[in-house]
C-alpha cells in the first residue's frame, strides 16, 4: 500500500515508462504477428495444478489464433466490463480513464500480465477463500497484482513489503508480527487476512470501494484532503483530480488489471512461467530453530525452493524453541519432511545461531548534528543494523528523518 503504484521490483512492474523514447513494447512477440497461443495454453494446462473459481484461469477461447492486443476498442471492452459489473460489488462500468490504461497494458504489458497469470494459480485460491470468508468482493484479489506483481518478496522504496505491500506501522496495527526473524507481511495467508481487515475498515470509513482503494494506496489523510479540496464531492471520479499525482491512476490501474486478468484470452494473453497451484502446497507446524539449509540437506528440495515457499523467515531459519511456526511444503513431499525431520536437526547443528528476539522498535527523529554512529552508540546497536532496519544504502541521513531502531531497552 505504498504510494508507488505498481512495480515494487523491477521485474514485476506493470508501470509504463513516461519518456517517449522508452515507450517500446517489452513483449517478446511483435504486435502484428499472429501466435498459436492455443498450443502454449494446452501445454500449460497439462502441467499446472490449478484449483480456483477464477474464470480467467480457464477461459480458453474457441479459436486457435489470437493476435496479441486485439479487440481493445471501446465498444468491445465496454460490453465485457458491463457483464463484469453486473456480477460485482465494484463499479466496473466502462470509463475513458480506465480504458486508456486497459489499452496501454493490453498492448505494452502483455508479457508482465502473462507472468501474473502464471503466478495466480499459487495465490488466487488463497485470496478468494479469505475474501469470501470476510464477505469482500472477490475482485479485490487483483489488488495484489497492482501492489506487488504477486511477489511476496516485493519491496518498495518507501519500505512496504509483501504481496499486499504493507508499511511497517500499518502491518503492526493489523496484528502482523515483524521482528528480526519473522516478517508476516510476506506470509501469503496472514498478510491476506490483514489486508482484508484493513480494506474492510477503509470501506466502512468511506462507504465506497474506490475511495477505500485510494486510501489503501495514499492513506486516509490524503483522500480526506482531496475530498475537501473537491468541495465535498462524494463521487470518486470527481475527487480523483484532487488526489496526489501518484495516486490518481491507482484505481484506473486496478480496473485495467481486473479486466485484463478476467478477459486475457480475448486479447491473446496467457499464463507464462506458471507456479504450482495452491492445492499442491501444504502447511506444517514446526518448532525451531531449524535452518533452511538443514531442510535442504536431507530432502529433495533445494534451499532456494524452501526459501521461495517460506518468504516470511528473514534469516532463512525457523526460530525457536518454545513456539511452533508454519512451514509451507509441497504436498507430495510432506511425508519426506516428517521422516527426515530428526535428520535435519542433526545436520551441522553447531551452525544454528542462538535465537535472540529483537525488542519492539522505537522511532528516532534525526536531529541537527546527528550521524548514524552516534545514534547507534546511544541505542546500543550497530550502524549496519540501523542501515538494514531502515533500508539505507549509505550512511547519509537528513534532519527530521525517522529511523526505526530495535533498541536494547537496557541502554535507554
Q: Which residues are catalytic?
A: 147
66: number of Cβ within 10 Å: 22
Quick one: which of 373, 241, 47 has its CA closest to 233?
241
CA 113 to the chain's CA centroid: 14
For 230, the grid coordinates are 473537491
| Residue 48, CA atoms < 13 Å, CB-side half-sphere | 25
C-alpha cell at 411: 541502554
Judging by beta carbons within 10 Å of its beta carbon (0-12, 13-18, 19+), is residue 171 exposed, middle or buried?
A: buried
Residue 370: count of CB within 10 angstroms of its CB: 17
- List the beta bridge partners of residue 364: 403
Q: How far is CA 181 from CA 184, 266, 328, 356, in A?
A: 10, 45, 16, 9
Residue 370, sorted as left (phi over 0), alpha (psi -120 to 50) or beta, turns out to be: beta
Amino acid at each position: 500500500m505504498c504510494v508507488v503504484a505498481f512495480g515494487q521490483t523491477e521485474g514485476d512492474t506493470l508501470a509504463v515508462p513516461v519518456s517517449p523514447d522508452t515507450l517500446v513494447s517489452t513483449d517478446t512477440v511483435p504486435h502484428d504477428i499472429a501466435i498459436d497461443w492455443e498450443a502454449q495454453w494446452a501445454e500449460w494446462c497439462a502441467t499446472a495444478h490449478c484449483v480456483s473459481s477464477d474464470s480467467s484461469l480457464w477461459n480458453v477461447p474457441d479459436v486457435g489464433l489470437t493476435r496479441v492486443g486485439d479487440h481493445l476498442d471501446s465498444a468491445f471492452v465496454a460490453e465485457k466490463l458491463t457483464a463484469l459489473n453486473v456480477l460485482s460489488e465494484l463499479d466496473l462500468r466502462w470509463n475513458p480513464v480506465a480504458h486508456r490504461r486497459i489499452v496501454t497494458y493490453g498492448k505494452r504489458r502483455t508479457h508482465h500480465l502473462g507472468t501474473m497469470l502464471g503466478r495466480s494459480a499459487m495465490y488466487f485460491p488463497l485470496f478468494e477463500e479469505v475474501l469470501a470468508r470476510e464477505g469482500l468482493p472477490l475482485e479485490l484479489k487483483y489488488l495484489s497484482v497492482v501492489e506487488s506483481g504477486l511477489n511476496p518478496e516485493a519491496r518498495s522504496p518507501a519500505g512496504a513489503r509483501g504481496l499486499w505491500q504493507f508499511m511497517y506501522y500499518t502491518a503492526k496495527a493489523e496484528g502482523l508480527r515483524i521482528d528480526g526473524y519473522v516478517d508476516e507481511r510476506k506470509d501469503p495467508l496472514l498478510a491476506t487476512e490483514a489486508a482484508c481487515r484493513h480494506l474492510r475498515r477503509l470501506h466502512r470509513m468511506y462507504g465506497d470501494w474506490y475511495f477505500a482503494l485510494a486510501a489503501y494506496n495514499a492513506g486516509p489523510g490524503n483522500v480526506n484532503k482531496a475530498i475537501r479540496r473537491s468541495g465535498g464531492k462524494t463521487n470518486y471520479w470527481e475527487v480523483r483530480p484532487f488526489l496526489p499525482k501518484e495516486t490518481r491512476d491507482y484505481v484506473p490501474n486496478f480496473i485495467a488489471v481486473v479486466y485484463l486478468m478476467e478477459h486475457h484470452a480475448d486479447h491473446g494473453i496467457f499464463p507464462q512461467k506458471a507456479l504450482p497451484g495452491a492445492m499442491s502446497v501444504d502447511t506444517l507446524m514446526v518448532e525451531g530453530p531449524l535452518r533452511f539449509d538443514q531442510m535442504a540437506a536431507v530432502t529433495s528440495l533445494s534451499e532456494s525452493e524452501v526459501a521461495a515457499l517460506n518468504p516470511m523467515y528473514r534469516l532463512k531459519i525457523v526460530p525457536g524453541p518454545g513456539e511452533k511456526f508454519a512451514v509451507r511444503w509441497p504436498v507430495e513431499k510432506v511425508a519426506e519432511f516428517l521422516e527426515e525431520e530428526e535428520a535435519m536437526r542433526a545436520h551441522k547443528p553447531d551452525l544454528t545461531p542462538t535465537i535472540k528476539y529483537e525488542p519492539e522498535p522505537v522511532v528516532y527523529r534525526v536531529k541537527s548534528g546527528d550521524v548514524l554512529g552516534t545514534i547507534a552508540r546511544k541505542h546500543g546497536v550497530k550502524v549496519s543494523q540501523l542501515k538494514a532496519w531502515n533500508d539505507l544504502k549509505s550512511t547519509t541521513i537528513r534532519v527530521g528523518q525517522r529511523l526505526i531502531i530495535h533498541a536494547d531497552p537496557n541502554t535507554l
